[in-house]
Structure 1
Amino acid sequence: MINWKDFLTTYRGWRRRWFYPLISVAVALSLCLSAPLPGRAIELLPLLFQGAQILKISNISDRDEVRLGKQMNQQLQRQEVRIYRNSSINSYVEQIGRRLAANSDRRNIPYTFQVVEDDAVNAFATMGGYVYINTGLLKIADNEAEVASVIAHEMGHIEGKHALNQLRQSAIASGVATLTGVDQNKLVGLGVELVLKRPRSRKDEYDADTRGLRTLTKTGYAPSAMVSFMKKLLNNSSVPTVLSTHPGTSDRILSLQRQIQASPNYGNYGLDSSAYQANIRVLKR
């Protein structure tokens, strides 16, 4: 017997994944076929090839996504960020990340957690499982659960493939996909630019919040830490924050509070401020 619920879920996922790329190919094909002269059709053939390249970007495999994320990570370290080299801090953040990754919706990809030496209160993620958290954010957090909430949120972007979808849209607009194929260097450079300079959409932020809260709760961390950290940054106008480029922070806080209230059975791990300060004491020197 056909399980129509599962069938409809699969169909909707397939439709979202293929609809826009197929539209690109169809438009290019229709332009070619509708051209009144053979010479004009030849001129428009590159559009069809570009549509095929866009289709390739849209349906990138997990392995290729990880490979692309690795290349972006290498470029980031060469040009944009300086990785903090203190082994105890890196090990601590890695430990938090690994705990969360065990409850991720995408456990099939290898997550990489790195600390960036920067006093700006910031965190970000690239595709393929790469998560970055600034030393400035670690300093302002009150406890481990707050740090975990930020990491879980960034993992939510990876789980939702937000960077990958944003890259696909930008690649179409910027012409990265050409007659000669997809320019890998330009694709990597575009991905780095998107991560550092262009904020996520409101929809993506809400989605990352929901995914992050679910991972945080499943791991046993206190979900209230996600709210407390957002409130702290929202109310401290003197602090340059990760939330400064994230739209609708007040609304997001309300949404998170409603989700927490709807699921009262959760853990309270990670709220020990003294233990947290002991783990990051090297940053306070």
Structure 2
Amino acid sequence: MSNSFFFSPRRWYTPLLSFSIALGIGASTPEVTLAIPWLDILRQGVQVYQLYNVSNREEVQLGQRINQQLVGEQFQLYNNARVNSYVDRIGQRLAKNSTRPDIPYTFQVVKDDSINAFATAGGYVYVTTGLLKAADNEAQLAGVLAHEIGHIAERHLIEQMRETAIARGLATAAGIDDSTAVQLGVELALRRPNSREDEFEADARGVQTLGKAGYAQVATIDFLEKLRSQRSTPTFLSTHPATSDRIARLREIIDSQQANRGEGLNESNYQAQTQPLN
């Protein structure tokens, strides 16, 4: 399980752009790309996503479907109300202070010893029990969650789904159907390598959100440095740009005079909240 620590053209020409791209995807004749007529789609009630212009409602619905596949088939959620409530409380605090607070967010703990976290579409964020154990304090955990919220705020998964669908010839003139979109979202959520640009962008959004929520921004750097010092590379870092590059960027972004100001650095309080994991 890999982690994710995610252009919108004007509305009036979005359908035309989507249609034009679909016509050029792996087809030699118009008949192939027009294999799913609009009227047939409407009659069948099939959800179709135009990945150039996904509404908030559509993205949340897509995230729900992806979540059903992940929870039902790929991993097991950690069943402890105290820990789950704690993580959700931190996540919701961050979400309200993010650049995209207008969608519902769902924060879930995955029962897995690996140090990992990732986000999908529509506000769904996942963090492993292994990462919760690895964090020293609440601000470090909040830094991870804020990074994942940054991916969601920038719609990185939707962008990667669009690029992958085009590359594989999965799109039609209408867009991409619901079932294909869900399967592609599951695949990318679990196995996608994240681009340098996406990661740096999520880092920048994350520390901005962290500060607005009242947490000490230095915690993000502290956690990355702690993971970098481990003998084996945690899953959390394996698909990301070089950790040293990320730390250097974060030091440029964060005001050194303000870095240690904020909440969440008390280790004993964090250990008390996550005690069921021990």
Q: Same fold (TM over 0.5)?
A: yes
Partner Cα separation in structure 1 for residue 22 and residue 192 of structure 2: 29
1:44 to 2:30 alignment:
yes
* TM-score normalised per structure 2: 0.85
The answer to whether the 8 A contact 2:139-2:215 is kept is yes
Which residue identity is paired with 1:200? N
1:233 aligned partner:
227
- Give the direction of change, closer, same or farther, for the CA distance of 1:184–1:136 in structure 2 (3 Å limit): same
Does the residue aligned with 1:177 lie in a helix, a strand or coil? coil
Q: 8 Å contact 2:19–2:173 — kept in the other structure?
A: no
Structure 1 30/211 Cα, relative in aligned 2: closer, same or farther at 3 Å? closer
Q: Within the alignment, does 1:74 sit opposite 2:68 as a pair?
A: yes
Larger CA Rg, structure 1 vs 2: 1
Report the CA distance between 1:248 and its aligned residue. Answer: 2.3
Which residue matches 1:257?
A: 251
| Aligned residue-pair number | 261
C-alpha distance 87-16 of structure 1, shift in aligned 2 (>3 A): same
Q: Is the 8 A contact 1:127 1:164 kept in 2?
A: yes
Does residue 264 of structure 2 align to residue 270 of structure 1? Answer: yes
Deviation at 1:261, TM superposition (A): 2.5
Query: In the alignment, which residue of structure 2 is the partner of 1:91?
Result: 85
| CA pair 144-19 structure 1, distance change in 2 beyond 3 A | farther
Contact 2:86/2:273 (<8 A) preserved:
yes
- The answer to whether the aligner puts 1:171 opposite 2:165 as a matched pair is yes
Distance 2:22 2:157 in 1: 25
Match of 1:130 in 2: 124
**Does structure 2 conserve the Cα–Cα contact (< 8 Å) formed by 1:22 and 1:55?**
no
State which of 200, 212, 216 in structure 1 corresponds to 2:210: 216
Amino acid at match of 1:213: V
| Distance in 1 of aligned mates of 2:115 and 2:264 | 20
Candidates 97, 110, 123, aligned match of 2:104? 110
C-alpha distance 179-268 of structure 1, shift in aligned 2 (>3 A): closer
Whether 1:182 and 2:201 are equivalent positions in the alignment is: no
TM-score, structure 1 length as denominator? 0.83
Moved more, 99-108 or 21-30: 21-30
2:24 and 2:125 mapped to 1: Cα distance?
42
Segments of 5+ residues of structure 2 without an aligned counterpart are 1-6, 42-47
* Equivalent residue for 2:200, pick from 202, 206, 210: 206
Contact 1:124 1:154 survives alignment (8 Å): yes
Is the 8 Å Cα contact of residues 127 and 161 (structure 1) preserved in structure 2?
A: yes
Provide the aligned C-alpha RMSD in A.
2.8
Q: Larger relative contact order (C-alpha < 8 A, sep ≥ 6)? A: 2
Using the TM superposition, give the Cα deviation of residue 18 of structure 1 relative to its aligned residue in structure 2, in angstroms.
8.7
* 1:159 paired to 2:153: yes
Tell me which amino acid in the other structure corresponds to 1:80.
Q
The residue that corresponds to 1:246 in the other structure is 240
Give CA-to-partner distance per residue, 1:204-248, whole Å, 9 cap, x none.
000000000100000010000000001111111235230111112
Once structures 1 and 2 are overlaid, which stretch shifts more, 158-167 or 184-193? 184-193
What is the deviation of 1:175?
2.8
Tell me how far apart the structure 1 counterparts of residues 55 and 107 of structure 2 sit (CA, whole Å). 21
